[in-house]
Structure 1
């Protein structure tokens, strides 16, 4: 492989620039050579032979677009000369066989987790406070304000200290000094934790629960039930107004479906029954405090790696994502599958064009047909509102080399590795099978990570090429950069640099193994992700059909 450019698959007719290339540079490919006709920035692609209008663009061995106009050999491709095009798909058409990777080195490994009575194991121990309707957001935030600092869960607010310093300068008449007064970072200590075995109290405010469609409220209740059921959650406080669409009975019905023998403490209070706001809040705070004292008795104990449920996500992707970070976590996913654990690949709009490959990897025709049906229904719903999967790539994606949805999808699907697909889940459905699961979510980062935690993921792997701070309230999100430049530029949000794959310093397999080791540390509580350290608790329920 050249250190300057890469042909990903033998049947590809485009190559990827691994570094900035200049016009006139000689390129060797398929026993022939040609010169670049223009500069090609790193992460972008160029064609190896002249292309006529409507000629197909092949990358990762699949159809990812078509030429809009003639492109000379050695010419760069972009939205100006290439348009999205993807292959059609039918049902499962091939028998799939898989050679599992050697996992003997991890067979007897464990992580230190929180064991739940239903057999799940948490990688963290959180209490959650959530409203069934947006009307209760204020009350949830009052509880947050009352609990976080007093119990030692709040972080030192260096920015508040910074503003106070600026105020002091202003009051002293030193306004000229304000323009050059530097931020000093965290320089104060927070309070010590009262409950040492609890990782935090998380507050899941949202804008749903009433208005909208009844289906939205049903889905919201199912999502919140999934969060309560998630093994990283020790118990929950639920605030209801009383008259909203998202009724307490619906939440309890969804919980009963997930676990009819739920043994976690669950506090449910309804404002229209309790009376005054003061009575509601006093009840919620008192009952929650007593429950926290009880769940604080839980301790981490050894658990097999088969208890890991790993979400696979990407956001702010670039032209390197599909050749470094994504296949690296794909190998991690294969290791997890071989160890009897579960992994979950989401973002259905970013599986456009690779459907047939995924259908053939499904363990049964029934599972394959469900995937095909969900993909078609989602695509149809997007088109009904004047959109489509082809509109998924963001301006940042396009700027950094992902110019069609099929191209983006072909790289994004690498997160799912090579293992058989054991189950296909619709939005809010919960993971019950080991191996690779597909979960129907939008491509929107936070809506997707929100869904992954609601479906039972106790840790997530999140690849990025451009940099995104996304986290989750209850499931630690490991952030992996596709390139070293990003890891060096934004070290406060990146946990693992996959750039050594691009540089040829590590193989995909070596990087995937390193990632598994990191997961074990995170799951055991001996390391914390950057998103957790920053308190990046992103939570956005999906209003179905609204976003890609």
Structure 2
């Protein structure tokens, strides 16, 4: 009989389940000298029970609880949604109990990349002109300005300009005004993009009668670099859409020579803020790509840089592992407060946090939000949690930072970029298609079949880990080196494919009236 250990993965001693490397056929196998019968085929990446699990007993993977048995699960059975469910349980992480000393790379030995130094000292990895909209009503005009400039061929004369992009959204009109939490998020997000180092110039376009008034919005933009050209206009004041588009094209054309003057120069990687995201996850996300990305984040942090991740609903059930790494009670309390906010939020909405994972996640072997979160939290690597910020707030601390965001990929990425991230790493096990201009986004495939099937979309194959070709540490080094190349101007697959124009999606929490 075949040894089950050669066909599956055990993540921690004492786990109740193993992860199937490839589809496991029904039949008899050996495990630790005993015979184990698999009564039905188990798909690749799914869980096989390795001991009897009593009804209502917790089920362990990663050495943590991922769910509870709805009936007795015998050794060899497939453990998934048909016999495992989400339940709340007590979990406490005490700040500082899992702190680790971060051994910093000596400053003289720290790596550099080639970036655009701005007047405020921040460094861009790209050099775009942005057309920011105050309201959905000005979205078409902004898109036409960007599209007509891009299609004109004039950008060929300005090699240091990466492009012109429209930042459109579907709110800003009848939303609550000053003092409203959701309105504040919208304003904060737009401000984050206006001051982002990946923009060389910004034009704000409004309609004229919206709550989110152009004059008020732009006057609230603090800390915009002194060399950042910012202008604004409204469709109503200019006499209509056609006049607005023509004026926008004229302004962009006038800006191009000056924006093109900036050149890349060597800067330390400590200037980088790396955003980390996982989407279209599968069971291998928490085994290959996410921990490998966490290893790369650890390296960046040791070089003085910053790594930030979010998706609060996708660290739910693993938050105690992060709070135990918090550098202070204040940081731990911030994270716990955001967890409580989400619990209240979904209850008021009549839903459950366990509505995530998605059908695709479940098809990939993830059963509950607890299991998904434990894998997602692996993106945080092993360094200490130095800060927790709200959605689209500026990320100013050096080290590992958590941002409170929803799990929806475009909304999460928009918040991270608004916070200052100049590069985004996106892990996926199902094959997410994504980009997030003005920050270059690169894809990390969790398994080799996905990488081979979607090579044109995937930048790095982390399936090499489960294939036994590379360790997590080696994969982390490869990702770190790739980050440096991307930050220095090398295009990602998503950039080559043109992704990023439709993924600016601010988090909407305002009441629309």
- Residue 323 of structure 1 aligns to a residue whose secondary structure is coil
Distance 1:71 1:356 in 2: 28
Equivalence for 1:165: none
- Residue 113 of structure 2 aligns to a residue whose secondary structure is strand
2:236 to 257, 263, 272: 272
Equivalence for 1:446: 410
The alignment status of 1:413 with 2:377, answered yes or no, reads yes
Distance 2:148 2:253 in 1: 11
Equivalence for 1:130: 132
Distance 1:123 1:273 in 2: 35
Extract unaligned runs of 5+ from structure 1.
154-192
Equivalence for 1:252: 218
- Residue 431 of structure 2 aligns to a residue whose secondary structure is coil
2:497 to 517, 534, 548: 534
1:510 Cα deviation (Å)? 0.1
Query: CA 1:27 to 1:115, structure 2 compared with 1: closer, same or farther past 3 Å?
Result: farther
2:279 to 305, 315, 320: 315
Distance 1:504 1:533 in 2: 30
Equivalence for 1:24: 27
The alignment status of 1:437 with 2:394, answered yes or no, reads no
State whether residues 91 and 369 of structure 1, in contact with CA within 8 Å, keep that contact through their aligned partners in structure 2: no
Distance 2:251 2:63 in 1: 58
Map 1:58-137 to 2 at 5 A: 58-90=60-92, 92-100=94-102, 103=105, 107-137=109-139
State whether residues 112 and 303 of structure 1, in contact with CA within 8 Å, keep that contact through their aligned partners in structure 2: yes
Q: If the length of structure 2 is used for normalisation, what is the TM-score?
A: 0.94
Range moving further from structure 2, 259-268 or 337-346: 259-268
2:183 to 212, 217, 225: 217
Equivalence for 1:341: 305
1:44 to 27, 38, 46: 46
Coordinate RMSD, CA, aligned: 2.1
State whether residues 320 and 482 of structure 1, in contact with CA within 8 Å, keep that contact through their aligned partners in structure 2: yes
1:507 to 451, 454, 471: 471
Map 1:312-461 to 2 at 5 A: 312-461=276-425
State whether residues 53 and 68 of structure 1, in contact with CA within 8 Å, keep that contact through their aligned partners in structure 2: yes
After TM superposition, which residue ranges in structure 1, 4 or more long, deviate above 6 angstroms? none
Distance 1:320 1:545 in 2: 37
1:533 Cα deviation (Å)? 0.6
Q: If the length of structure 1 is used for normalisation, what is the TM-score?
A: 0.88
Measured against aligned partners, the alpha-carbon deviations of 1:70-89 in whole angstroms (never above 9, x if no partner) come to 11111111111100135434
Query: CA 1:519 to 1:478, structure 2 compared with 1: closer, same or farther past 3 Å?
Result: same
1:99 Cα deviation (Å)? 4.4
Distance 1:42 1:91 in 2: 33
Range moving further from structure 2, 243-252 or 406-415: 243-252
Equivalence for 1:159: none
Equivalence for 2:445: 481
Distance 2:100 2:8 in 1: 30
Query: CA 1:130 to 1:27, structure 2 compared with 1: closer, same or farther past 3 Å?
Result: farther
- Residue 361 of structure 1 aligns to a residue whose secondary structure is coil
State whether residues 222 and 254 of structure 1, in contact with CA within 8 Å, keep that contact through their aligned partners in structure 2: no
- Residue 475 of structure 1 aligns to a residue whose secondary structure is coil
State whether residues 101 and 334 of structure 1, in contact with CA within 8 Å, keep that contact through their aligned partners in structure 2: no
- Residue 463 of structure 1 aligns to a residue whose secondary structure is strand
1:276 Cα deviation (Å)? 3.9
Distance 2:26 2:143 in 1: 57
1:63 Cα deviation (Å)? 1.1
- Residue 380 of structure 1 aligns to a residue whose secondary structure is helix
